[in-house]
Every structure is written in C-alpha cells, then in structure tokens.
Structure 1
Amino acid sequence: MKKSGAFFVCLLLTLLCYAPIARAQDTLRLKAITYNLRFGELASLEELAARIASEKPDMVALQEVDCHTRREGIPHQHGKDFATELGFRTGMFPLYGKTIAFAGGWYGIGLLTARPYLGVRKLMLPQASAQEESRALLLVTVEVGQDTVVFASTHLGLSEESRRMQTECILNELKRSRYPVLLGGDFNAEPDAAEIAAMTSGCDLLCGMQPTFPADAPDVKIDYLFGYPAGRWTLESTRIMPSGLSDHRAIVSVVALAR
C-alpha cells in the first residue's frame, strides 16, 4: 500500500475511534431541582440544606423563601436569611428575588447554583388585580464549563387570569434570551390548565406528571421544570423527592441539553 493510502486509512480509523467521544460531548447534562419551601415552617434550614445537598444538583429553583422575617408561630426561622444560609450549607451560590415586604422582612423566590454566574436579573410579573400578591421571575446566567446557560425560578399567582398574563410574560422573556434556559417553579396550575399548555408550546417539559402537593399525600401537580427553547432539551430521569420538610414535594430531574 502506498504511504498516502496508509495515511488516510489511519486517519479514518482515528476518526471512527473518537466519534463516540465527540457525540458524548455534544450533550450537556445537568441536575435540576424545584422546591417550594413553605417559608421553612415545617423544617429547619439545616434539614432543608442537607436534603438539597444530598442530591448534588447544578441548580435549585426555590419558592416561598423568607429573608429576615418574624412570622407568628415560626420562631425557629425568625431573622433568617434563607437563601444565604442555604447557599452556605449546600456549598452553592445563592440568589434572592424579593416579591413583597412581609413580617418585618421580605418574602420571595430564590436560586441556588453550583456554577459561577455572570449576571442576575429579577423581572416582576404582571397581575390581574392590584390586590393580588406580587410575583417575579428570577434569572441567573451561569458558566457551565465552556457553555453558558440561564437558570430561572418563578412562583405564579393564584388567579387564572394572573397566571395567563404571567406565563405570557415569561415566554416573551425566554424568547429574548441569548442562551438556553432551565426554569423551575410553582405554577399553581394543574397539567391540563391553559397556562401549562402555553408553557409546553414553547418549552420542553422536563418533569413527570406525578403529583407534588400536598406533601403528605400528594394528589395535585402544580410544580414543574421546563427547558427553553423547545427541542433542545431532553429529560433523562425524574422523580418526586419524598419529604416532610415542606407542604410541597420537590422535583429532581436529570436533563440533557443538545449543543
């Protein structure tokens, strides 16, 4: 065989050997959790942090997160900065988005990220009535190796009209993102609701249909994980985290993002 022919045979064999590695590197895998904490009424922050840390997640979307409140009947959480303390106890970076002033402090949503972040943004969401509780979308742009991904958390309103407005606002925000987005939250809507249909029309659903509320005997699903844009994300595994630490059960999903 001529030298040039032998060279091309060797090159072809080398490419074939490395093809599986190249395909594996075409996918980014992340573990995500979404968890409504019920403002720590049912557990200590040490217990909540230990449960979260045991999963070794890349992202945790948190709802009903207090900061420096003094709620009646919950003295064990008085004055606590939930996001900061959970970040310290899990070894993750904490982000906080206040939605209302409450009980001498603030109440809102949060994020924990295991990856360094480039920037954070809070977007207040529309509501049908000024009497309703304010809601927000919290987004953090993170570095995942050579990739850039946005992690997001939200907690939608109690009225159907507010949720419709809020999901529309969220989808418009996701469409403006330069990077793929992984969103977790308490949407206060069951799977057959129009709001969830709107979300799944533009996003990949990254969780199962198992009920998440109430935690002691769940019969309603109102917590979700979504990936934007649709078609880029794949759900590899998902489960509901059994726990009596809140009135919601957390969702834990391993997801893949096609580069």
Structure 2
Amino acid sequence: MRLATFNLLHGRSPADGIVDPDRLVAAVASLDADVLALQEVDRGQERSGRADQTALAAHALGAVEARFVPALVGTPGERWRPAEVGDADAEPTYGVGLVSRLPVARWRRIPLGSSPARLPLLIDARRPALVRDEPRVAVAAELAGDGPVGTVVATHLSFAPGVNVVQLLRLARALRDARPPVVLLGDLNLPGPVPPAVLPGWRSLVRATTFPTDDPRVQLDHVLARDPSGLEVTDAAAVPLSVSDHRALVVDVEAVTARP
C-alpha cells in the first residue's frame, strides 16, 4: 500500500506562480498513491479556477473514495469565517482532503481549533506580517477490508508554536478508538523529531526534509503510525513536484507476515 501526503499550496507553482489544474493532476498522478492526504486545498476559489481540487486529485489517481473537509469558508488571507459541519458544500472553501483507491467504511471530521492571537508570519522576503491563524481540522477514514492499515487521517496543523502541539495531542486523543493500525498524514508544522516525541505509542514511518521544495531544510510533513508493529516500510521518499513549496512525502507499507 502506498501512502502519501502533499501540501498543495492550492496548486500554485513556486517557479512561475501559476495555478494550472492540468499541472496539478499530473503531479498527483505521478505519486501513484493508494491513499493521499492533501493540505491547503481549494474548492470554488477564484484563484484556482474555482476547481474542486480534491476531486481533481481523486480523478488523477483513479480513486473510488474522496472527502474534502473545509477549515474555512472564504479565502485565506482575505475575508473568511470558520467552517461548520453544515458547510460541506459551501463555496469558496479551503481545507484538507483525503483520497483513497480503497473503499472507506466510515468517514469522520475532527475539528482542532486555532490560535486566538494574530501571529507574525513571513509573507514575503522583506518583512513578517501579523496573520490570523486559520481554524484547523482533520478528516479520518476507516478503511474497509483487511489491508495493512485500518484508519488513515489527514490534517494540517497551526504554524503557531505550542498550538500545533496541543492540536496534535487533541487529534491523538480523538483517534484513541480508531481501528488500528492508524496512520496520520499531513503538514504538522513541526520539525521532524517532535511529533513522535510528544506522542507515546506513535512512530514516524519516514524521516526526510520536505520544505522548501527547492532546497529542503526541515521536515514539516509527516507520516506517523500508531500500533505500527504490524507494518513494514518497504520504501519512502520526499518527492519534488511541479506545484507547491512543499515536497510530497511517499511511504510504501505492507503487513508484516508471520515468520516461522
């Protein structure tokens, strides 16, 4: 089973600043993932041609299941409000997505909150600006059948130090009763060793720098597993693509077979 996570940057290329849906589809297709977690995903946004980017990713992979969960209604950096349960079909929206070639038995939306304060963020190369933190959310899918993974989860945590750790712990608690093995995929906005250090019982399935894509110096994107003793990683890589300022993170896993 191939698992992947990709912060799309709403499909924008850092090389030319263009958002091209065909370029996005080609990038996602090249990952050939069975399960793909998506962050910074647009739906109905003018800046990305009003596309449903989760649906584009599902089409690119030939997926049978896909779910977009909005974190906000409106446009990041402009006017927006936190998304609510009834906003599943609202537009324009922005959030996270989860795409699967495998049947899903049950979907779940998990709200994670946001930082109450405006925080400095480097918007351009010249100076930081005070930015209102976006609400954060996760989407979990319990996979049907007897594959090596029981539950997959996609999320994008806050850039606010400390807030992201609180959100990660909140998410782990929400997943206590999820069908194991549980795999959490996403941009956690935490450097490589931190997530497994604060989550007892969870293990990182890949260590690789993912940001920025042209000269990656830090791992912000993660694939973590709870109850991982039944999983064996056969391959893993951080993959540069033609869109986004993040590299995609790809992990191949299989069930550990009993040895005589």
TM-score by length of structure 1 reads 0.79
- Structure 1 residues 40 and 51, CA, compared in 2 at 3 Å: closer, same or farther? closer
Asked if 1:135 corresponds to 2:133, the answer is: no
Asked if 1:78 corresponds to 2:49, the answer is: yes
SS of residue matched to 1:139: strand
Unaligned ranges ≥5, structure 1: 1-29, 72-76
Distance 2:145 2:221 in 1: 25
SS of residue matched to 2:41: strand
Indicate the residue corresponding to 1:102 in structure 2.
74
Contact 2:186 2:221 in 1 (8 A): yes
Indicate the residue corresponding to 1:184 in structure 2.
185
Asked if 1:202 corresponds to 2:178, the answer is: no
Cα shift at 1:132: 2.5
Indicate the residue corresponding to 2:103 in structure 1.
116
Cα shift at 1:145: 4.8
Paired residue type of 1:97:
V
Asked if 1:68 corresponds to 2:40, the answer is: no
Percent identity (aligned): 26
Deviations 1:147-173 (A, max 9, x none): 772111000001122112111111112
Contact 1:190 1:196 in 2 (8 A): no
Indicate the residue corresponding to 2:253 in structure 1.
255
Distance 1:164 1:147 in 2: 28
Contact 1:138 1:154 in 2 (8 A): yes
Asked if 1:45 corresponds to 2:21, the answer is: yes
Question: Going by fraction, where is helix more abundant, 1 or 2?
Answer: 1
- Structure 1 residues 246 and 149, CA, compared in 2 at 3 Å: closer, same or farther? same
Contact 1:126 1:162 in 2 (8 A): no
Indicate the residue corresponding to 1:5 in structure 2.
none
The structure with more radius of gyration: 1
Paired residue type of 1:219:
R
Cα shift at 1:117: 1.1
Cα shift at 1:116: 1.2
Distance 2:70 2:142 in 1: 18
Distance 2:44 2:137 in 1: 19
Indicate the residue corresponding to 2:229 in structure 1.
231
Paired residue type of 1:56:
D
TM-score by length of structure 2 reads 0.78
Indicate the larger mover: 230-239 or 132-141: 230-239
Indicate the residue corresponding to 2:4 in structure 1.
33
Unaligned ranges ≥5, structure 2: 14-18, 76-90, 118-131
CA RMSD of aligned residues (A): 2.0
